[in-house]
Amino acid sequence: MKFMKLGSKPDSFQTDGNDVRYVAAELATDIIITVGDVKFYLHKFPLLSKSARLQKLASVANEENTAEIHIGDIPGGSAAFELCAKFCYGMKVTLNAYNVVAARCAAEYLEMHESVEKGNLVYKIDVFLNASILRSWKDSIIVLQTTRSLLPWPEDLKVVSHCIDSIASNASIDPSKVEWSYTYNRKKLPSENGIEPQWNGVKKQQAVPKDWWVEDLCELEMDFFKRAILAIKSKGRVSNDIIGEALKSYALKKLPSFSKGLVQANDLLKYKSLVETIILLLPIESGSVPCTFLLKLLKAAILLDCGEIGKKQLVRRIGRQLEEAIVADLLIPAPAGEVILYDVDVIQSIVEEFAMQEQGIISDKPMSEEDLQEIRSPTFISDTSKLAVAKLVDGYLAEISKDRNLPLSKFVALAESVSGFPRPVHDRLYRAIDTYLKEHPALSKSERKKICRLMNCKKLSVDASMHAVQNERLPLRVVVQVLFFEQIRASKAPNAAVRPDLPVNLRTLLPRENGGSHGSSRTATTNTEEEWDSVPTVEELKVLKGELASLKMGSRRSLKTDDKSRNSLETAAAAKVHGILATKKIFAKLWSSKGGQDDSSTDDTSVSPGSTSKEEAKSTPSRNRRYSVS
């Protein structure tokens, strides 16, 4: 820390109690100066020779025939006045970063300028500030912190602006030129872990990180921090990702529980102002701030009821880098008064912002010029990013589907917003749908049909298909489709020879490529649409489970034939053909049994597929196995 010593005489100020100060000298004191609750018994000559204000106050006191002067409004109080008085007496005074601003403001108040006496206190302090304090990184921050209790004096004297400019200049220099101490605990350097970097046996100087200044700046209060960041940005020499790191560190330090996405209830107005300030300071470049941080900031903004403009700005920014997010960050609590657990609407808006990038859509809502600049041109979104967002939404749907108060409309709307994104596998979506069906058992047949339309049965993995065929919560139509596509997959296996061909009446249940069905009408002997949308019965599940188990066993046998002779391959192929023909008979049996059922079989309630008879379990043990999707 820099310091400056003034004067050469020993300090002869004495204390008499808590509120009396006097100078021990042979000459009797002739003036009493009251500063707050403290009385100073001093001598006129040394004081009046350097202070124009005391000259005027002493003149007024003489006219009133009193020896006492009151100066209760001096900045810095009695401590700052005593320092100035000691300078007037020529006593030893030490100035440093902690007391120099108070001394400067008090000297200004007392009018200790060069016009009164050459080499006066104001001049000496200004030299010390400019030549030493403001050239020191740590001292500049300390001085800026001390100005708060002295405002508005430091602001009027330009001390605050000079400190901020000094801080911004030091933060903007090349890190290789940083030769002073700084605080850096967020990421330990190798030397801090006991590892001394060496080069050919010679200790190598540790490189200064680009964000070396961030932690020290986080010690400032919000208003000074804001001005410092704006000054750093205006110089244009610090990258936006470092600015983003500074904002992230400040939020973590000043907002309790921010890292957990929570906000404490005390002092909400202060936290609200802080969050709005951080949003205002965010760099406009996409990717300069991690998506996780933006989502936590949005969560805090919603909890603190920040302004709509700031929240919409966050939604737009998050939408542009949504592929970086994780499911846990999307679980934003619903606003107060809502019956659902999570704010699904804001996530819907974020996903829509992501999709709108390619369209180059500009919102008709009022925005700043910077915001318009950000989304003026369409942006190419890679299939990799779309796939990442689709997986993210599927995972989010799986979490929110556990909420029994979640309306089906919100679930479907969010799922449909990513339906056009490339997804080779629909297992995650199936898991979300299954969870929703499990937590909402009262769904009607039409509602079950609506939610199941979201997934493509062709894109279920083998494990997911095994689970779906045994799933008593799915409509029978979906179960049949899953089994059919598993047959197609099995027919394309290395040793498969025949492609399954279902009867026309069963093919009407299967989706076309465009989403329709293969049949536009049905005969009087076929089942109604309502029956096929109902959940499968126990007997139907037995048949379907057994068929899928047979497919799996056949697939395993096909894999084993890879190491056998050609005769064995031909035998396996013949067995496969026989299995597929048997499958057609099972479908026909299922169709006829379905057509012969009475109305009670179409009820929404069904027995678990695991509740088969002992005889069935004994004859076909593989049919009663349950499969889970992870």
Interval 181-201 mean pLDDT: 59
Residue range 77-118, pLDDT digits in tens: 999 999 999 999 999 999 999 999 999 999 999 999 999 999
How many C-beta atoms lie closer than 10 Å to residue 320's C-beta?
21
Confidence of residue 343 (pLDDT cuts 50, 70, 90): very high
Judge whether 126 lies within some domain: yes
- Percentage of the chain surpassing pLDDT 70? 70
Of 90, 113, 131, which one is at a domain's C-terminal end?
Answer: 131
Residue 358 pLDDT: 72
pLDDT digits (tens, 9 = 90+) for 373-413: 444 456 778 889 999 999 999 999 999 999 999 999 999 99
Query: Residue 262 has what pLDDT?
Result: 65
Look at residues 438, 455, 472 and tell me which one is the last residue of a structural domain.
Answer: 455
The verdict on residue 136 lying in a domain is no
Query: Sorting pLDDT into bands at 50, 70 and 90, what band is 223?
Result: very high
For the cut 90, the answer to whether the pLDDT of residue 42 exceeds it is: yes
CATH assignment of the domain containing 76: 3.30.710.10
Above 70 in pLDDT, residue 55? yes
Q: Same structural domain for residues 495 and 629?
A: yes
Q: Per-residue confidence at 422, pLDDT binned at 50, 70, 90?
A: confident
| 431 and 347 inside one domain | yes
Residue 408: per-residue pLDDT: 94
Residue 432 has pLDDT above 90, yes or no: yes
Note the pLDDT tens digit of each residue in 349-377. 999 999 888 775 544 444 444 444 444 45
Question: Which has the minimum average pLDDT: 265-274, 307-316, 434-443, 453-462?
Answer: 265-274
Give per-residue pLDDT as tens, 130-167.
999 999 999 999 999 999 999 999 999 999 999 999 99
Greater confidence, 453 or 360?
Answer: 453
Q: What is the pLDDT of residues 599-625, one digit of tens each?
A: 333 333 333 333 333 333 333 333 344
Contact 423, 458 (CB under 8 A): no
Q: What is the DSSP letter of 97?
A: T
Give me the chain's average pLDDT, please: 79
- Considering the domain boundaries, does residue 160 fall inside one? no
- 113 contacts 53 by C-beta, under 8 angstroms: no
Parallel, antiparallel or unpaired: strands 3-6 and 93-96: antiparallel
Do 475 and 443 lie in a common domain? no
Shared domain for 271 and 390, answered yes or no, is yes
Residue 204 in domain: no
Residue 629 has pLDDT above 80, yes or no: no
pLDDT at position 534, please? 52
- Looking at residue 370, its pLDDT comes to 44
**Whether residue 445 sits in one domain with residue 319:** yes
Structural domain that includes position 601: 459-520+531-630
473 and 406 together in one domain: no
φ and ψ at 23, to 5 degrees? -100, 125
pLDDT of residue 179: 87
- Residue 356 has a CB neighbour count (10 Å cut-off) of 18
Q: Are residues 449 and 472 in the same domain?
A: no
Strand partners, 91: 9
Specify whether 41 is located in the same domain as 123: yes
- The answer to whether residue 478 is domain-embedded is yes
On whether both 570 and 478 belong to a single domain, the answer is: yes
Domain count, the chain: 3
Placement of tokens 């005593």 in the chain:
82
Is residue 316 included in any domain, yes or no?
Answer: yes
Residue 177 belongs to some domain of the structure: no
Same domain, 425 and 516: no
* Per-residue pLDDT, 401: 94
Question: What does the alpha-carbon distance between residue 481 and residue 472 come to, in Å, rounded to a whole number?
Answer: 14
Residue-wise pLDDT for 572-594, tens only, equals 434 443 444 444 444 544 444 44
Q: pLDDT by residue (tens digit) across 481-496? A: 888 887 787 777 665 5
Do residue 378 and residue 394 come from a single domain? yes
- Residue 488 to residue 264: CA distance in whole angstroms: 56
pLDDT digits (tens, 9 = 90+) for 523-547: 443 444 554 455 555 555 555 555 5
Q: Would 389 be classed as within a structural domain?
A: yes
Of 213, 85, 92, 79, the residue nearest 146 (C-alpha): 79
**337 pLDDT above the threshold of 60:** yes
Residues 435 and 463 in one domain: no
Collapsing DSSP to helix, strand or coil, 329 comes out as: helix
Q: Out of 404, 426, 455, pick the residue that ends a domain.
A: 455
Residue 75 has pLDDT above 70, yes or no: yes
